[in-house]
Amino acid sequence: MDLSEINRRGLVMLGCGKMGSAMLEGWLKNGLDAGMVHVIDPNPSDWLQGTGVQINGDLPENPGVLMIAVKPQMMEEALPRVASFGGGDTLILSVAAGTPIRVYEQAFGPGTKVIRSMPNTPAAVGKGITAIVGNSQTGPEDLDLAETLLSAIGQVVRLNTENQIDAVTGVSGSGPAYIFYMIDTLAAAGRAEGLPADLAMKLAKATVAGAGVLAENSDETPEQLRLNVTSPNGTTQAGLEVLMGENGLAPLIRRTVAAASARSRELRK
């Protein structure tokens, strides 16, 4: 990870909650100079205060990156404090949910480089996936820098248009909650079949986690991996006949992602 540009010009973080802290921890481990990081946060955590970064102090005039990591309802109050970074060489990188690029363009003025991202909660353990998209002022080098920074919390993908973020929200942004619920329901089904609660939950967690790692690391498609473990007339086939039925998992997940994506579009307006 090349953080030389940030170490030279500095990085300002507007907000540093769980997501921001996860990123900052990754950057510091990969050579970011803590003294070049300036954090604006009214309630800095004990962990943050022990990192050596500058907290609620004077800000650099022309930082390389301003990262916005505050909640959407705090935007109106928070953005004016950093509005002076607009229109210059500072890259505005947002990891805030639900706030479109146009809001930042209005707040920071013409000529401002803005990249919007959509991370997800597995970022807290370095296993996230983040989608990014920039405005017309950003160039390849800006997207490269954003990808370098965001790779501290997992994989990064690039979108063609901002409108795609709504679908990303429905799949990966909200997706971890769907999986957490699946773990709960799988464990509950195990209990219904006579397993002790702690054993059922341990089996459910490990099964979902292991299948995810296998799917991500295998050269075979998820479909083929499924076929590999489905013996004719066996136990897996019996279960899959329920999941893959007319009213099974596929139409349910389709409605789930559609609902989340639709809500994302509503919030963007």
Query: For the segment 182-215, what is each residue's pLDDT rounded down to a tens digit?
Result: 999 999 999 999 999 999 999 999 999 999 999 9
Per-residue confidence (pLDDT) for residue 117, from 0 to 100: 96
- pLDDT, mean over the chain: 94
Question: If pLDDT is split at 50, 70 and 90, which confidence band does 2 have?
Answer: low
Q: 173, 142 in Cβ contact below 8 A?
A: no
What's the token pair of residue 120? 């997800």
Across-strand partners of 38? 12, 54
Mean pLDDT across the stretch 226-243?
96
What letters, b where the CB count within 10 A reaches 16 and e where it falls short, cover 8-37?
ebbbbbbbbeebbbbbbbbbbeeebbeebb
Q: 90, 63 in Cβ contact below 8 A?
A: yes
Mean pLDDT across the stretch 52-73?
92
Higher pLDDT, 170 or 4: 170
The structural domains of the chain, ordered by start, are: 4-160 (3.40.50.720), 175-268 (1.10.3730.10)
The answer, yes or no, to whether residue 75 has pLDDT greater than 90, is: no
- The model carries a pTM of 0.91
Neighbours of 246 (CB within 10 A): 6
Round to whole Å and give the CA distance between 147 and 145. Answer: 5
5 contacts: CB under 8 Å, gap ≥ 6: 64, 145
Round to whole Å and give the CA distance between 30 and 43. Answer: 26
User: What confidence tens digit (pLDDT) does each residue in 94-117 have?
Assistant: 998 889 999 999 999 999 999 999
User: What confidence tens digit (pLDDT) does each residue in 21-53 have?
Assistant: 988 998 998 889 999 999 999 999 999 999 999
Closest CA to 93 of 7, 214, 6, 194: 6
Give percent of the chain above pLDDT 90. 81
